[in-house]
Structures are given as C-alpha cells and as structure tokens.
Chains A and B, each alone.
Chain A
C-alpha cells in the first residue's frame, strides 16, 4: 500500500519543482527579451523612416516623373485603361458610387460650402445667362420650342387639365358673378365706339355678301323643293288622267326621240 501511494505522490512532488525552475529562468531572461523587443521596435521605425524617405526621394525625383509620363504615354497604359473600361470595373465602380452615396455626399459638400455661390457669382459676372439667351434666340431655339409646344399634345393636355379643374371652374364662376364684369359689360354697351364698330362690321362687304348668299341659298333651296314636287305631281297627274280616260300610255314610243316622254313614268 505504501509503495502505491509513493508511486502516486512522485509526479506531484516533481511538478512544483519544475515550475519553480521555469519561473526563475523566465525572470532571468526578462531583461533580455525586453531588450530584444526594444531593438526590434527601433529597427522597424528606422526601416519605416528609411522607406518613407526613399519613397519621397523617388516621388520627387525627375526620373519618377518621366517614368510616369512614359508609362502614361505608353500603349500598355492605354490598353490597360481600355481593358478596365471594357471590363466590369465600370459597373463595379458605379455600384459602389451608388452604394456609398458618393454623389449625394459630394453634392451635399458642395452645397454646404461656398463653392456653388462662388461659381454662380462668376457665371453672373461673366454675363453667361444673357449670352445663353442671345444664343438661343439667334439659333431659333425659342421658335422651335414654341412651335413644338403649340403643335404637341402637351399644351392641349395642360389646357384640358386646367379647364377641367375645380379651381378653373371656381375662377370662372367668380369672374361671372363679380360686379366687375357687370360693370364692364354695362360700360361696353354704353360705349358709342362699340356700336360704331358693330355698324361698320354690319356694313362691311363681307358680311352683306355672306347674308345675301345665305338668303339666296335659302331661296334656291325653296325653289328646288318646289320644282321637285311639281315634277312628281306631273307624273302623278298624268298617271291618274291616263287611268281615268283608259288610254294607254305611249311609254314605248320615244319621248325625246329615244326614250319615254316622261322620264321615270312606267306605262300604266
């Protein structure tokens, strides 16, 4: 029994002894490790500084500029740009521009700043609006636009919308019911000039000619009606007379040398 317990206690007694040695070793090595870490940090800083200085030297050198120019002028660069534009890069960039609201942010920044005001002031100072208007007038854009608006269905739709709107109806009602209109009509009727104008129009050759033509047209219509009825009455009367006298109509004999005497009168 005693041996078993000894075998069981042996590892327990060796572990604490080993950890103590490790702790002593670690404490002894701690200064060395710290020195190593310090040295590594200093070295990294020195390498970084040297890299940046080298990069500054390279970027500020004339050679670098010439290299960039040569690369930019080279067909390789052109091919690369073409390839990039033909590829999915544009779509990807556009998606990202939309996703990250780049345009919104840029516009917001511009609107917040005084840049827009400055640009507008410069545009105004350069008399750009007047020049633009002059150019449009000279090029006939205004006439073309007006013709397009007048010929297109948009104006008609807009007018229809306005006329069908309740506001227009109210406006018209207000105008009609207003005392202003009554007064205007009264004054107009009292005006001698109006009646002079009416008299001039009534005496104008165009109006008198139109009235004459209308009257003649009516008389012609009446005369046509009388003629047509009288000719029908002729036919009816002849039929009745021939029936009454029991005389055979000479429908077979030519009326004009070629046909019946009474066109459209069949033999009774």
Chain B
C-alpha cells in the first residue's frame, strides 16, 4: 500500500480535466491581446544586450591581449590584430542578435524586459536572413542621429526603421506560454 506522500497529487490532473471541460463548454479562450512595445522599453532591453555583448568582448579581449603580450609579438602586428578584433567584435555582435532573434525571438535583454521580436505578418519567429536585415536596419536607423527610431513614437504598431526593413514588430510576452510558430496569433495584420 502506497503512502500519501508516494501518491501523485490529484490537483494537476483535476486542473487539466477542468480545463478540458471548460474548453468544451465555452470554446477556446481568446488569445491575449498583443501589446506593441515602445521606445523606452526596447531601449532598455538593447542597453542590457549591449552591456552583455561588450562585457563578453572585454573579457575575451583582455584574455587574448594577455596571451599575446606573453608571446611577445612585434608592434607591427598591432594594427592587424586590432582590425581582426574589430571584425570579430562585429561578427560576435551580429551573431548574438541574429541567433537570438531567429531562435526564440528574445535576446537576454528582451527576456528581462519581457518583449519579443516576431514577424509582422504572422507573428512567427524571424528567419535568419530577416534577422540580418533587421540588424542592418538597426545600424541604419542609428546612423542619422537615431532618427530611424523616431517612427516608433509615431507609428500605431510602434515600428522603427529596422522593423520595416526586417518585417518585424516587437510585442510583449504574455503570461501564458509563448505563441506557437505554426499558429497565427490574433491581432496581426498584413499592413505594416
């Protein structure tokens, strides 16, 4: 005879059963309304990401510099190494954003701020090439004194230049599980 502690709790099974009955009676619950995120929230998330990217880069650069100093390389190689480091930093930064946007739609900063980058037309996660385009748009928006971000303040869906180029929107993450990629969430429109 199993004791009470050994027996699995009946509460989860009861809850699941009640959910099934409620769905059968009342139908599927409406999807949570999407909330497009504004400039401040996205700026904070980007600042967190920039801090992470730079912190990792600084640590790696310090380790590499220490190693190279121990090797005693000539000064003529400094320029080459600096250029290589710059390229590596660019690649690292690009990979950071592209990988996170393409995999979960959330960078660590986005996760902390509970926002997600998704496609504007169907709400699915961005493809890698779209993520690359968005990153390019991000740099492009920052070049003219950050004027490319101004549309976020004025647009109904809070889209900046990088969102138009990458075909994305930034939405809040609901309390419920994240939207399934295969299913088109309510609230997305084709217009942008």
Contact = CB atoms under 8 A, between A and B. Distances in A.
Do these two chains really belong together in a complex? yes
Interface of A: 223, 226-227, 230-231, 233-235, 237-238, 241-242, 245, 247, 250, 253-263
A257 B112 CA distance: 27
Nearest to B185: A256
Interface string B154-183: 111110000000000000000000000000
A256 B39 contact: no
A241 B154 contact: yes
Given A234-B37, A256-B36, A261-B156, 4 more contacts: A231-B37, A238-B154, A241-B150, A256-B186
A253 B156 contact: yes
A251 to B, nearest CB: 9
Contacts of A242: 153-154
B39 A261 contact: no
Interface of B: 33-41, 44, 112-114, 150, 153-158, 186-189
Given A227-B114, A230-B113, A255 B156 contact: yes
B114 to A, nearest CB: 6
Contacts, number: 69
B41 A257 contact: no
Contacts of B114: 227
A56 B99 CA distance: 129
B39 A227 contact: no
B38 A234 contact: yes
Given A257-B186, A257-B187, A262 B38 contact: yes
Nearest to A245: B154
Contact of B40 (A234, A250, A253, A254): A234
B154 A256 contact: no
Contact of A261 (B41, B44, B157, B186): B157
Contacts of B112: 223
Contacts of B39: 234, 237-238
Contacts of A260: 156
A227 B39 CA distance: 12
A64 to B, nearest CB: 76
8 tightest CB-CB pairs across the interface, nearest first?
Answer: A234-B38, A256-B187, A241-B153, A261-B156, A233-B40, A230-B41, A250-B156, A256-B34
B36 A255 contact: yes
Nearest to A232: B40
B38 A256 contact: no
Contact of B33 (A223, A233, A237, A256): A256
Given A237-B153, A242-B153, A257-B186, A227 B113 contact: yes
